[in-house]
Structure 1
């Protein structure tokens, strides 16, 4: 266990040196801030940006606080996923290419400890970034638009993060399998897009899909209740995540 903590500390030191611990949370906080501010000032933005005749009135209904938070999740599910995949696509493959992996495993360190330490560091940093972004969005939503229960925001964020956890684990798995970081990013993003698209088009047939957790979180934000499948996609996500992590950790270097 002591060796695992040494590897985990090494990962945090590396993420500090390449500023991932700074710029990844900043990206999510920035997008979290932008959504409520943009929603609140959209009429003024359109008024100043358009060439409407003098005296024209633009009436855009202000979205509810839940709708703004759901839109924030939408931003995270597009730009945020891209940022995380690009940040961690070379988490294993880059060290294999540079020869660092062989240098680490020459020591009495198991490949499973190496993989799980990297996976945990990516999970913790991603969770912290997403949670900070949602707190920023929640705070400015309450400030500018309307009140929203903090506990509902936390619950919705946790549901959404299970989807991100699955994608992160898939990224680590592919990075342990492939030598090209570009292929890791391409395949992970393709999986994310396909699962989201197919789940929305074939909702009855895809009730098990991990992408349903994004819909569940958005539904919780907008209606105060989860409208749609929850238990089945949650169980599927946990099983698939555990399986991918096991396959990644059980591979030989």
Structure 2
């Protein structure tokens, strides 16, 4: 436990040095505020620019409920550019330690591989969760003034569902960071894989059950309809299982590559 706390402290120092604690929340604040502002003002902008060209404006765009707009924030902003930003921000979690020799040095100390991985995941997941949460709240503030209010229970439950999907994104990126030696390749594979997972949601019920991106869809359903989609419980435990599997693979990969002494 002491080594885990020390490693988490080291990670927080690195986060401060890289200014992630500043720019990552700012990115999600920008993403969170973009959707409600664009949804509310886009019809007026199009009408002004259309002029005599007769652009047709759907009046229902400004009549959306707050839950619909917040769900669109998750699906259109956080699940696209947001996921890309997370992967890029976290692609060097283990790769940078490998390339600098820091991983081998750390594991020569009285530190276990599980403590090393745990320190990486816990500290960075806390940072990403807070950043997503801040962007989520920023979106809510604009939605409250421009659209309708959202029930507090639904809002909080949807956020926790979405953060489970974010946990998988982080654990998967960490696994790639342990396996691959190129940050560009880590970012490319991570972004493509996670976006494909998100695109597959809704195509087939069986895929939705085992797809961790289904938690994002459940969060959106909760905000729009007030209830989660079908097979929520199975998808919930399947996502946790995926997280465990990626963490276990990362652990065994580091042990197999003998970064720590015998």
TM-score by length of 2: 0.90
Indicate the residue corresponding to 1:52 in structure 2: 51
Report if aligned partners of 2:159, 2:219 keep a CA contact under 8 Å in 1.
yes
Shift of 1:218: 0.7
Partner SS, residue 251 of structure 2? helix
Structure 1's unaligned 5+ residue stretches are none
Shift of 1:233: 0.8
Indicate the residue corresponding to 2:6 in structure 1: 6
Shift of 1:207: 2.2
TM-score by length of 1: 0.93
Judged with a 3 Å threshold, the aligned counterparts in structure 2 of structure 1 residues 155 and 53 are, in CA distance, closer, same or farther, namely same
| Whole-Å separation in 1 of the counterparts to 2:54 and 2:217 | 41
Report if aligned partners of 1:123, 1:165 keep a CA contact under 8 Å in 2.
yes
Indicate the residue corresponding to 1:71 in structure 2: 72
Indicate the residue corresponding to 1:224 in structure 2: 226
| Whole-Å separation in 2 of the counterparts to 1:133 and 1:56 | 32
Indicate the residue corresponding to 1:28 in structure 2: 28
| Whole-Å separation in 2 of the counterparts to 1:107 and 1:57 | 67
Shift of 1:161: 1.2
Segment drifting more, 194-203 vs 231-240? 194-203
CA deviations 1:10-32 (Å, max 9, x no partner) are 10011011100111111111111
Aligned residue pair count: 252
CA deviations 1:20-74 (Å, max 9, x no partner) are 01111111111111111221112222133x2412998845321211110011001
- After superposition, where does 1:1-253 map in structure 2 within 5 Å? 1-48=1-48, 50-53=49-52, 58-61=57-60, 62=62, 63-74=64-75, 75-250=77-252, 251-252=254-255, 253=259
| Whole-Å separation in 2 of the counterparts to 1:126 and 1:193 | 18
Structure 2's unaligned 5+ residue stretches are none
* Aligned Cα root-mean-square deviation (Å): 1.9
Segment drifting more, 35-44 vs 133-142? 35-44
